[in-house]
Amino acid sequence: MRFVVTRRVGNTLQLPPDGSVTLVDVLYEALDEARSHAICLASSEDDGATWARISQVLRPSGDGWDSGAVSRPYLVPADPTDPTSRARLYYLGRSADGARHRQGIGVAESDDPEWRKWTKL
Protein backbone atom coordinates (compact mmCIF):
# COMPACT_ATOMS: atom_id res chain seq x y z
CA MET A 1 0.00 0.00 0.00
CA ARG A 2 1.28 3.46 -0.82
CA PHE A 3 0.99 6.28 1.64
CA VAL A 4 1.43 9.92 0.74
CA VAL A 5 2.21 12.42 3.44
CA THR A 6 -0.32 15.21 3.25
CA ARG A 7 -0.28 16.32 6.86
CA ARG A 8 2.61 17.37 9.05
CA VAL A 9 2.80 19.00 12.44
CA GLY A 10 6.15 20.74 12.56
CA ASN A 11 8.56 18.06 11.36
CA THR A 12 6.45 15.17 12.66
CA LEU A 13 4.36 13.02 10.34
CA GLN A 14 0.89 12.23 11.60
CA LEU A 15 -0.02 8.60 10.98
CA PRO A 16 -3.09 6.66 12.11
CA PRO A 17 -2.55 5.44 15.70
CA ASP A 18 -3.79 1.92 14.93
CA GLY A 19 -0.77 1.16 12.72
CA SER A 20 -3.00 0.48 9.72
CA VAL A 21 -0.66 2.25 7.29
CA THR A 22 2.43 0.66 5.78
CA LEU A 23 4.86 3.30 4.58
CA VAL A 24 6.27 2.59 1.13
CA ASP A 25 6.37 5.77 -1.00
CA VAL A 26 6.10 9.40 0.06
CA LEU A 27 5.75 12.57 -1.99
CA TYR A 28 7.19 15.53 -0.10
CA GLU A 29 8.19 19.16 -0.52
CA ALA A 30 11.90 19.94 -0.62
CA LEU A 31 14.30 22.69 -1.65
CA ASP A 32 16.29 21.95 -4.80
CA GLU A 33 19.84 23.05 -5.58
CA ALA A 34 18.63 26.53 -6.59
CA ARG A 35 16.78 26.86 -3.24
CA SER A 36 13.45 26.56 -5.05
CA HIS A 37 10.58 24.47 -3.68
CA ALA A 38 10.06 21.22 -5.57
CA ILE A 39 8.10 17.98 -5.03
CA CYS A 40 10.17 14.83 -4.54
CA LEU A 41 9.64 11.11 -4.09
CA ALA A 42 11.16 8.92 -1.38
CA SER A 43 10.73 5.20 -0.72
CA SER A 44 11.06 2.94 2.30
CA GLU A 45 11.50 -0.81 2.32
CA ASP A 46 11.37 -1.16 6.13
CA ASP A 47 8.02 0.43 7.02
CA GLY A 48 9.40 3.93 7.37
CA ALA A 49 12.45 3.26 9.55
CA THR A 50 14.80 4.45 6.78
CA TRP A 51 14.13 6.33 3.55
CA ALA A 52 15.82 6.56 0.17
CA ARG A 53 15.38 9.68 -1.92
CA ILE A 54 14.31 8.63 -5.39
CA SER A 55 13.96 11.76 -7.48
CA GLN A 56 12.50 15.19 -7.95
CA VAL A 57 9.15 14.55 -9.67
CA LEU A 58 7.74 18.06 -10.08
CA ARG A 59 9.66 21.31 -10.28
CA PRO A 60 8.81 24.93 -10.98
CA SER A 61 8.20 25.78 -14.63
CA GLY A 62 10.69 27.95 -16.48
CA ASP A 63 8.42 30.97 -16.94
CA GLY A 64 4.85 29.97 -16.10
CA TRP A 65 2.52 30.86 -13.28
CA ASP A 66 4.33 28.31 -11.05
CA SER A 67 7.87 29.42 -11.91
CA GLY A 68 8.78 30.31 -8.31
CA ALA A 69 7.77 27.18 -6.42
CA VAL A 70 5.72 23.99 -6.42
CA SER A 71 4.82 22.76 -2.95
CA ARG A 72 2.29 21.06 -0.66
CA PRO A 73 1.66 17.88 -2.66
CA TYR A 74 -1.70 16.16 -2.37
CA LEU A 75 -2.03 12.88 -4.26
CA VAL A 76 -5.20 11.20 -5.51
CA PRO A 77 -4.07 7.71 -6.59
CA ALA A 78 -5.35 6.09 -9.76
CA ASP A 79 -8.36 3.78 -9.41
CA PRO A 80 -6.89 0.26 -9.62
CA THR A 81 -10.17 -1.10 -11.02
CA ASP A 82 -10.14 1.33 -13.98
CA PRO A 83 -7.31 0.78 -16.50
CA THR A 84 -7.77 4.29 -17.94
CA SER A 85 -7.48 5.99 -14.54
CA ARG A 86 -4.45 8.18 -13.82
CA ALA A 87 -3.00 9.40 -10.55
CA ARG A 88 -3.48 13.13 -9.96
CA LEU A 89 -1.14 15.32 -7.97
CA TYR A 90 -2.53 18.65 -6.76
CA TYR A 91 0.00 21.22 -5.63
CA LEU A 92 0.43 24.85 -4.65
CA GLY A 93 2.31 26.84 -7.27
CA ARG A 94 3.77 30.34 -6.95
CA SER A 95 5.17 32.72 -9.54
CA ALA A 96 8.66 34.19 -9.36
CA ASP A 97 7.85 37.66 -10.67
CA GLY A 98 9.30 39.76 -7.88
CA ALA A 99 6.98 41.52 -5.45
CA ARG A 100 3.86 40.40 -7.34
CA HIS A 101 3.93 36.79 -6.16
CA ARG A 102 0.89 35.04 -7.53
CA GLN A 103 -0.12 31.60 -6.36
CA GLY A 104 -2.69 29.00 -7.27
CA ILE A 105 -3.49 25.33 -7.24
CA GLY A 106 -2.03 23.22 -10.02
CA VAL A 107 -2.61 19.64 -11.08
CA ALA A 108 -0.38 17.07 -12.74
CA GLU A 109 -1.27 13.57 -13.96
CA SER A 110 0.68 10.34 -14.10
CA ASP A 111 0.07 6.90 -15.54
CA ASP A 112 3.46 5.75 -14.23
CA PRO A 113 2.87 3.12 -11.50
CA GLU A 114 6.11 4.24 -9.81
CA TRP A 115 4.94 7.92 -9.67
CA ARG A 116 8.22 9.16 -11.18
CA LYS A 117 6.85 10.87 -14.32
CA TRP A 118 4.20 13.61 -14.09
CA THR A 119 2.65 15.92 -16.67
CA LYS A 120 1.33 19.30 -15.56
CA LEU A 121 -2.15 20.04 -16.94
Interval 54-113: pLDDT, tens: 888 999 998 889 988 999 999 888 887 888 889 899 999 998 876 567 889 999 999 888
| CA gap 110, 12 in Å, rounded | 28
**Does residue 111 sit within a domain?**
yes
Count: domains in the chain: 1
**Does residue 21 sit within a domain?**
yes
**Does residue 2 sit within a domain?**
no
Burial class (CB in 10 A: 0-12, 13-18, 19+), 34: exposed
Distances (CA, A) of 73 to 9, 31, 82, 98: 15, 14, 23, 24
**Does residue 12 sit within a domain?**
yes
pLDDT attached to residue 9: 39
From 29, 51, 26, 20, select the one nearest 41 (Cα to Cα): 26
**Does residue 65 sit within a domain?**
yes
**Does residue 1 sit within a domain?**
no
Q: Report the residue count for the chain.
A: 121
**Does residue 3 sit within a domain?**
no
Residue 19's domain comprises: 8-120
**Does residue 14 sit within a domain?**
yes
